[in-house]
Chains A and B, each alone.
Chain A
Amino acid sequence: MKDGIAMLRCAALVAAVMLPPAATAGADPAAFNTAEYWFESGRAAVARAARLHPQGWRAKNVILFVGDGMGVSTVTAARILAGQLAGRDGESHRLSFERFPHLALSVTASANQQTPDSAPTATAMVAGIKTNDGAISVGPGVERGETDAAVIAAHSVETILEQAEKRGLSTGIVTTARITHATPAVNYAHIGNRDWECDSDLPAGATVKDIARQLVEFPHGDGVDVVLGGGRRCFHGRDSEDPEYPGRFGRRADGRDLIGDWLAARPGSVYVWNQAQFDAVDPRRVRRLLGLFEPSHMRYEADRDLDGTGEPSLAEMTEKALRILQRNRKGYYLMVEAGRIDHAHHAGNAYRALVDTIALSDAVQKAVALTDPRDTLIIVTADHSHVFTIAGYPSRGNPILGKAAIEGQVLRDAFGLPYTTLSYANGPGYAGEFTRRVFDPIGERAVPAPYPGGLPRPDLSEIDTTDPNYLQEATVPLSSETHAGEDVAIYARGPGAQFFHGVQEQHVIYHVMAKALGFDHERGDRRGRGDGPRGPWAAPRR
C-alpha cells in the first residue's frame, strides 16, 4: 500500500488546499471539532449559499464526467480516504466535484431494469431516453440480439456528441476502460448489445457494425476529435501482434487495421499507445488524437506504475483532451469516464475503487482549472451505484479501510469478531462459514473448511484490512459484486448547472446539456424516440 499512499498523498494534498473553509480542518479533531466551529461553519455555509447565483444557461462547452459505479457511498468513502491520506480530517475533506454548487439525485432505473447496467444508463445521459439493458443509444424497441443494421438504424437515438459534431463543435471521449466499453460507446455507436465491441463478437450474418468500427467510421461532422482510453485489441486483426505485449494479438476477424483507417481518414491526426508518445503530443499542433493504451481496459490508478510502457492518468488525459478541444472557438463536448471504479467494486476491492474515485476527482480539478465557469458546464455523476456500504459506528478519524473501532477499541460482532467499516452486500468477498481455504498439503489445493474454533466468520484481528488487495467481506456469495439500484448524485457547475435540482431521472442530464448547448430546439435524428418498451411492463397490445 505504501506506493499507492505516497502517490495519493501528493494528489490529496493538492486537493486539500482547494477546499472551502468548512473542509480545511486538520487531522486532529480536537483542534476544530467544537460546537462553536460547527455552528460558525454552518452559518458560513448559508452565507455562501445566499451569494450563489446561476451562471446563465447557455454554455459554449460541456464536460460530462462519469464515475462508473460511483455511488454516494463510494464518494463518501473516497473523500474520507483522500483526507486521511493527506493527514487531514477525512470526514470534512471534500473531493473536487463535491464543491460544485448544484446537486441533484439521479434515478438510474432503466426502461427494463430496477437496477441497471451501464449501457442504458449511459444512453440516458447522452441521448435523453431510457432504454433497455445492454442497449447502446438505441430505443427500447430493439431486441438485445438484433443484428440487422436497418433495424438498428431505425431505432437509433442521436447523441449529444453527434449533435455537437453536426454543429461544428469539437468532441472528445476519455476513459480508463476500453473505448468500446458501454459508457464511452454510447456517444458514437448504436447497437443492441454492448458486448459486440469487435467484429469477432458479432453473430454470424450480422449486418450491424461492431462498436470499434462504428467509432472509426463515425459519420457525423469531422469525426470524434480526441479519443483516449483502452481497448486496442478491437482495432487490429488476429494476426497483428500487440505493440506492448508480444505474443498477444488483436481480435478483429476481418483483419482490418482500424487504427490505420482512423489515421488515413483524418489527415494530420496522431495515434499514441504509451506514455512517452502521449507526452510528446503537443496540443497546440495536434487537432485529432487517438490514444489506445492497453489491449483491454487501462490499469487501475493503484496499479498504473506497474505498466511497462507507462499510461497517462485520467487527469493527464483530461488535460490533453481539453487543450486540444479548446482550440475550437465554437466550443466542445467532452465525456470523461473513470471506468474502473466499477470493475474494482465488482471484484470486491474497495481500495482500488476509492483510489480511482480520487483519480476522477483529480481529473475534475484539472478541468476546473482549465475552464471558465461562465462558459463551460461541468457535470459529474455516476451511471449507477454498487452494493457498497459504510457501516458500524467507527469514531471520526478511524481509518476508512480499517476495522470499525470506537476510540481505538475494535468493535465486534455477535460472535466476538472484528469487522471492517467497508463491506459489500454481495460478491467475491463472501467469507461465511465453510469457505476458508486450507491448502491441502498433498494435492496442494484449497478445500472448504470451517474457521478455527468453528467460527462462522474469519477473525480479522491479525489481518491488515488496509492492504490494497484486501477484499472486503460480502454477505451473499456471488462471482462478481453487483450494481445497486439506489440513486446516484449529479454535481454540476457552470451555465445550466442550476437545472439540476431535487430528484431527477437520469435522462434529464442529456436535456440539460442540450439546453445549455442550444440543441434543445432541434428535433435532430431521434428515430428511437417513438419506441415502446419490451417485456412484461409493456402495455398490452389491442
Chain B
Amino acid sequence: MWKWAFIGSLLAAACMVPSIALPSDADAPALAAEFETRFGKQAARRWRLLRDAARIEVQERVPGVSELWLLEGGGRIRHLRLYHEARAGIEYDAADLRLLEAVPDWRALGRVVDPARLERLGPPEPAERFARWPARRYARDGQEVVWIPALQLPARIAEGEAVTRLLAVHTPAAAAPWRFTDPGAYRLIDYADLGDMERDPFVMRLLEIDPDAAGVAHHGH
C-alpha cells in the first residue's frame, strides 16, 4: 500500500503553512526528548525530538530515519531526510518544500503539538507535574493533551487508541545521550535530482525504504 509517511513525519501536520514560517521561538528551550507512541495493542514505538534555535530533528519516528529541519536566514527552512543504513540523505530546499506545500510552521514543528490546537481544546486545568515541571491538561471531545509550558512540549497526547507519552527530557540538550545527526557524514542528494538518478542504487531502493520521502505530499487531493 502506498504510504504517506513523509508528511506524516512532520510532527505537527496542522502546522503546514503556505509561506515561510516566522522563526520567532524564543520561549522554546533547546532540549532533547524521548517519546513513546502506542496505537491500541500494537507495540509501542520510541522516537526522539531534538531541538535548538536553528535545528529540529526527529529520530526514529520512521525506523532508521532522521528528519532534520534547519532554520536559515530570512526564515528559510531546509529539510534533510537522513537514512542511516545507507549513509545517504535527501535534501529539500525551501523551494522544494514550497512546491510540495510542505513548509512547516517552525513553532509547531518543534513542539510536537501545534499551540493552536491547545487553544481549540479549551481552557486548561492543573495536571500532575512531569518530573520537576508543572503541567496543564487540555481536554475536549475525547482528546487530551498534557502540556508542559516551561518546556513547550507535551507530556501526553491521547485520543482513542493512540497515546503518545513523554518518557524523558534533557534540557539543556547537551546533557542528553542523543545528538543531532551530522549531515556532513551523509551523501546528500537534492530532492530535485531524484528523477535523474534512476540508476542510483540508493534512489532505486528509496520507494521501498521510504515511499514518501520523495516528495509525495498533500496537494489538496
Residues of A within 8 A of B (CB): 117-118, 133-134, 144, 182, 194-195, 238, 245-249, 296-297, 299-300, 303, 306, 308, 340, 342-347, 349, 352, 428-432, 434-437, 439-448, 458, 460, 463-464, 467, 469-471, 473, 477-483
Contact = CB atoms under 8 A, between A and B. Distances in A.
12 contacts: A144-B199, A306-B95, A308-B74, A347-B96, A347-B99, A347-B215, A443-B39, A444-B14, A444-B112, A444-B114, A469-B98, A477-B216
Contacts of A439: 13-14
A446 B95 contact: no
B13 A434 contact: no
Nearest to B95: A303
B59 to A, nearest CB: 15
B13 A480 contact: no
A256 B93 CA distance: 25
A519 B14 CA distance: 61
Nearest to B54: A247
A463 B101 CA distance: 14
A166 B126 CA distance: 81
Contact of B219 (A340, A441, A471): A471
Contacts of B74: 308
A479 to B, nearest CB: 3
Contacts, number: 160
B94 interface: yes
Nearest to A300: B95
A303 B20 CA distance: 13
Contact of A463 (B4, B72, B206, B220): B220
B184 A238 contact: yes
A501 B219 CA distance: 42
B196 interface: yes
Interface stretch (B130-138, B154-162, B169-177): B154-162
B25 to A, nearest CB: 17
Nearest to A471: B219
Contacts of B5: 445-446
Given A306-B95, A469-B98, A469-B100, A431 B221 contact: yes
Contacts of A247: 54, 70, 72
A148 B216 CA distance: 39
Contacts of B99: 300, 344, 347, 349, 352, 469
Contacts of B217: 428, 471
B206 A182 contact: no
A297 B192 contact: yes
B62 to A, nearest CB: 10
A123 to B, nearest CB: 14
A342 B195 contact: yes
8 interchain residue pairs of minimum CB distance:
A346-B195, A479-B214, A445-B8, A442-B162, A458-B221, A480-B195, A446-B8, A439-B13
Given A347-B96, A445-B8, 4 more contacts: A247-B70, A343-B195, A428-B214, A435-B4
A315 B95 CA distance: 21
